[in-house]
Amino acid sequence: MGDAAFPARFSAAGRPGAYLRILAEGDLAAGDPVSVVYRPEHGLTVGDVARTYHRDRAQADLLLHVPQLVEDGRAWARKRVA
Q: Average pLDDT, whole number, for the chain?
A: 86
Where are any strands of DSSP class E within the chain? none
Residue 38 counted as domain residue = no
Residue 53 counted as domain residue = yes
- Per-residue pLDDT at 23: 82
In the DSSP assignment, the letter for residue 65 is T
Number of domains in the chain: 1
Residue 51 counted as domain residue = yes
Quick: pLDDT tens for 71-81: 999 999 999 99
Residue 6 counted as domain residue = no
Residue 64 counted as domain residue = yes
Q: Are 51 and 14 in contact (CB under 8 A)?
A: yes
Residue 66 counted as domain residue = yes
Residue 37 counted as domain residue = no
Residue numbers of the domain that contains 74: 43-82
CA distance 81 to 79: 6
Is the whole model's pTM more than 0.85, yes or no? no
